[in-house]
A and B are shown apart, each in its own frame.
Chain A
Amino acid sequence: MIQRTVTITNKFGLHARPASRFVEIADTFEADIYIKKIGQKANARSILDVMSIAAGAGEIIIVADGIDEKEAIESLINGLDDIEGNE
């Protein structure tokens, strides 16, 4: 299991579109992936979960657990960078 902390800079968090892309990326991996934020835990394959946990700016922890956990984390973090840079 590996985990990485990332910061959401948009003050409204992940909007529907970037959240969809995040879920799409998560869907391409085998590993269990979830997001943690102060006492909450969200399924990275659920758009509603992702949007609700990343509803504002701040730090979130992405956790992946499974055979492709390393690639999964890399792709998700790159994806987030793209998304945030583009918005």
Chain B
Amino acid sequence: MKGIPASPGIAIGRVFKIDQDISSNTSYEVGTRENELEKLNVAIETSVQQVEEIKNSTLNKLGAHEAQIFESHLMILMDPELITHIKDGINTHGNTPEAIESSTQFFVSMFEAMDNPYMQERAADIRDVLGRVKKNVLGIMTGGIQDINEPVIVLTHDLTPSDTAQMSKTYVKGFVTQIGGATSHSAIMARTMEIPAVVGISNSMGQISHGDLIIVDGINGLVIQSPNEDQLEKYTKALDAFETEKASLKVVIGKESVSLCGRKVELACNIGAPTDVATVKTNDGEGVGLFRSEFLYMDREALPTEEEQFEAYKQAVEGLNEKPVIIRTLDVGGDKNLPYLGMPKEMNPFLGYRAIRYCLDEEEVFQTQLRAILRASAFGKAKIMFPMISTIDEIRAAKEHVYKSMQVLEQAGIAYDKNIEIGIMIEIPAAALLSDLLAEEVDFFSIGTNDLVQYTLAVDRMNEQISDLYTPYHPSVLRLVKMVIENGHKAGIWVGMCGEAAGIESLVPLWFAMGLDEFSVSPSSVLRVRKQIRDLDSKKLMTLVKETLSQENAQSVKNYLDNHKTFNA
């Protein structure tokens, strides 16, 4: 079955299926009313203990903020109205699992019906908690991601950030999700954690059972169920080859990202949390080219305070001691919705009220973040980057905000880097086309290919039906990239790229030949890209840009580049 390749690598193993929907075919012996009520009590007690344990281990591993959600879960477990509702159900149904199921439906639909996105999301908490109680009544081992203690491949509907945080890299060899795309949260986390993954297998999920032997091919986006001898052999070999290649990349650790012709580029990483700095270091990243600050705002109930943000940015900046950390200001909206902000649902969220457009309106939100970044800049080398810029006025307004924050800090006598670099994402065609003028206003550009592709090609990157039209190889996209790099250089500023395309093997030589100064990629791609760059020779790249840009469509570009991946021969 086919899904979307989310994180490269191969995994072979047994499935650990995390199923929201407990199959009704489990045999269950109904007892007397007293028996059933007793079973409910025992199951609730067991559930309380389990949630307490999860809460404590989350507290130790991730901190108080992440553990809070389990506090609410405990409260729901002990809710007197809920328990009464289930007991009433036992009186009418005479069967505990059925009573739990009907109470689940009752409360879930009550919360889902609320005209309030925050409360609608609580329905998931109720489902989670009652699902656990029901499993305990049925005597099914509760399959939570934190309970895994042997090598497995996790199969689930979708992974939440807390799932991925609780996932043990020692045991989870790969994962497969029903929904999501290459740039969904699960996919990004998989690449950061270097776990092979395939996402968006849609309805195929139902065909795979807990305990099945499967192969996850994260390179081609394939999931092979009950593989035959041939397939097993082929993939075992591929797995070995992949591991060998990974080991061979270790030789470029500590080396410079410099081509044969002597041009050095900066090879940085994309991260979502200060804890990712560890992965950046193991992979020898030369800095952070994109710190997606929105992750600090996600999975919580209110905006993070200045202190919380300051601590997070400081941790990242200090962790990389003096290597650059580019912090992108809040990029909310589009596919990243923060329920507590109460932003209205839009017809076209990707073309709507998001990122800098929102921040320029919400002065307090923006100022809080800018002060936090500036304060962190006193502890290392932070840079500020604004997302979704489409006009020169937005840059000027955003810079005014920075100066205002600086004044506030100045007056309070708080240290910050007065020469902090300020740059923008180039992810809207309007910005690319105007890059000659925009370059006069900033210290750097970073090309965000994920959005630049979708806006240039008018292809919604979340829409699976047109996913074949979504491609960075389209000659129009490549022409825009070339234009941005040239305009940046003419104005004397450096130009980087932080979209997925920065790490695509066949595109790396092209970006290099176009003169890209900085590549920001997933930590797991750093060594591969460095090795590739160290083999490039500009003399052999002279005609590459011209030849590529004269291709008529994405397919011919891709074919051409696939044939020219290496230039050292």
Contacting residues, chain A, for B81 (C-beta < 8 A):
43, 46, 48-49
**B342 close to A11 (CB less than 8 A):** yes
Identify the stretch in A1-9, A15-23, A65-73, A74-82 within 8 Å (CB) of chain B at 4 or more residues: A15-23
Is B278 positioned at the interface, with any CB of A under 8 Å from its CB? no
C-alpha gap A13/B340 in the complex (Å)? 10
Interface membership of B147, Cβ < 8 A? no
Interface residues of B in 342-367 (CB under 8 A from A): 342
Tell me the complex Cα distance, A84–B493, Å. Answer: 47
Q: How far is the CA of A55 from the CA of B81 in the complex (A)?
A: 17
0 or 1 for each of A48-69: is its CB under 8 Å from B? (1 = yes): 1101100110000000000000
Question: In whole Å, how far is A49's beta carbon from the nearest beta carbon of chain B?
Answer: 5
The answer on a CB contact under 8 Å between B116 and A56 is: yes
Check B206 for interface membership: any CB of A closer than 8 A.
no
* Cross-interface CB contact of B72 among A12, A20, A49, cutoff 8 Å: A20
Is the Cβ of A15 less than 8 Å from the Cβ of B301? yes
Interface of B is mostly: helix
Please state if A48 and B107 are interface contacts (CB–CB under 8 Å).
yes
Let me know if B80 is at the binding interface, CB within 8 A: yes
Query: With an 8 A cutoff between CB atoms, is B110 at the interface?
Result: yes
Q: Say yes or no: is A36 at the interface (Cβ < 8 Å to chain B).
A: no
Q: How large is the interface on B (under 10, 10 to 19, 20 to 34, 35 or more residues)?
A: 20 to 34
Note all chain A residues with C-beta closer than 8 A to B75: 16, 20, 23, 47
Cβ-based interface call for B204 (8 A): no
Question: 1/0 per position for B60-97, CB-CB distance to A under 8 A?
Answer: 00000000110110011001111000000000000000
Contact yes or no, B122 A16, CB < 8 A? yes
Q: Are B82 and A55 in contact (CB under 8 A)?
A: no
Q: Decide if B118 touches A12 in the complex (CB within 8 Å).
A: yes
Contact A46 B79 (CB under 8 A): yes
B445 within 8 A of A: no
Do A55 and B302 form a contact, CB below 8 Å, given A11-B342, A23-B75, A47-B76?
Answer: no
Collect the chain A residues with CB atoms within 8 Å of residue B82's CB: 46, 48
> Closest residue to B68 on the A side, CB-wise?
A17
B114 contacts A by Cβ under 8 Å? yes
Contact in complex: B72, A55 (CB < 8 Å) = no
A46 to B119, CA, bound (A): 15
Residues of B contacting A49 with CB < 8 Å?
A: 79, 81
| Contact between chains at B119 and A52 (CB < 8 Å) | yes
Residues of chain B with a CB closer than 8 A to A45's CB: 80
B85's nearest neighbour on chain A, judged by CB, is A48
Take A12-B116, A43-B80, A56-B116 as given contacts and tell me if A48 and B71 are in contact as well, using a CB distance cutoff of 8 Å.
no
| Contact of B302 with A87 in the complex, beta carbons under 8 Å | yes
Cross-chain contact B126 with A48 (CB below 8 angstroms): yes
Question: Among B80, B119, B125, B126, which residue has its beta carbon within 8 angstroms of that of A12?
Answer: B119
User: Most A CB atoms within 10 A — which of B107, B122, B342?
Assistant: B122
Chain A residue numbers with a CB within 8 Å of B115 are 56
Say whether B470 faces chain A, with CB atoms less than 8 Å apart: no
User: In the complex, what distance in Å separates the CA atom of A49 from the CA atom of B82?
Assistant: 9
In Å, the complex CA distance between A56 and B79 comes to 21
B80-A52 in contact (CB<8A): no
The answer to whether B116 touches A52, judged by C-beta atoms less than 8 angstroms apart, is no
Closest Cβ neighbor of A12 among chain B residues: B118
Q: Does B511 contact A (CB under 8 A)?
A: no
Q: Do B110 and A13 touch across chains, with their CB atoms under 8 A apart?
A: no
**B313 CB-CB contact with A under 8 Å:** no
Let me know if B494 is at the binding interface, CB within 8 A.
Answer: no
Q: Is the CB of B340 within 8 A of A12?
A: yes
Alpha-carbon separation in the docked complex, A20 to B75 (Å): 7
Contact indicator B114/A16 (Cβ below 8 Å): no
Residues of B within 8 A of A55 (CB): 114, 116, 119
CB neighbours (8 Å) of A47 from chain B are: 72, 75-76, 79
Judge if B379 is at the interface, Cβ distance under 8 Å: no
Give B91-140 interface residues, CB cut-off 8 Å to A: 107, 110-111, 114-116, 118-119, 122, 125-126
For residue B77, which residue of chain A has the nearest CB?
A: A47
Q: Report the Cα distance A52→B126, complex, angstroms.
A: 13
Most buried by A among B114, B119, B301: B119
* Chain B proximity of A35: nearest CB distance (Å): 12
Is B116 touching A13 in the complex (CB atoms < 8 A)?
Answer: yes
Bound CA–CA A6/B68 (angstroms)? 26
Residues of chain B with a CB closer than 8 A to A12's CB: 116, 118-119, 339-340, 342
Nearest-neighbor residue (CB-CB) of A52 within chain B: B110
**Proximity string of chain B (317-340) to chain A, C-beta cutoff 8 Å, 1 when within and 0 when not:** 000000000000000000000011
Q: Complex formed: what's the CA distance from A16 to B76 in Å? A: 10
Q: Pick 18 A–B contacts, CB within 8 A, sort by A.
A: A11-B342, A13-B118, A15-B118, A15-B302, A15-B340, A16-B125, A16-B301, A17-B71, A17-B301, A20-B75, A46-B79, A46-B80, A48-B126, A52-B111, A52-B114, A55-B119, A87-B301, A87-B302
Residues on B facing A (Cβ under 8 Å):
68-69, 71-72, 75-76, 79-82, 107, 110-111, 114-116, 118-119, 122, 125-126, 301-302, 339-340, 342
14 further interface pairs, Cβ-Cβ under 8 Å (given A20-B71, A46-B81) = A13-B119, A15-B340, A17-B301, A45-B80, A46-B79, A47-B72, A48-B111, A48-B126, A49-B79, A52-B110, A52-B114, A55-B114, A55-B116, A87-B301
Q: Which 3 A-B pairs have the closest CB atoms?
A: A46-B81, A16-B72, A47-B75
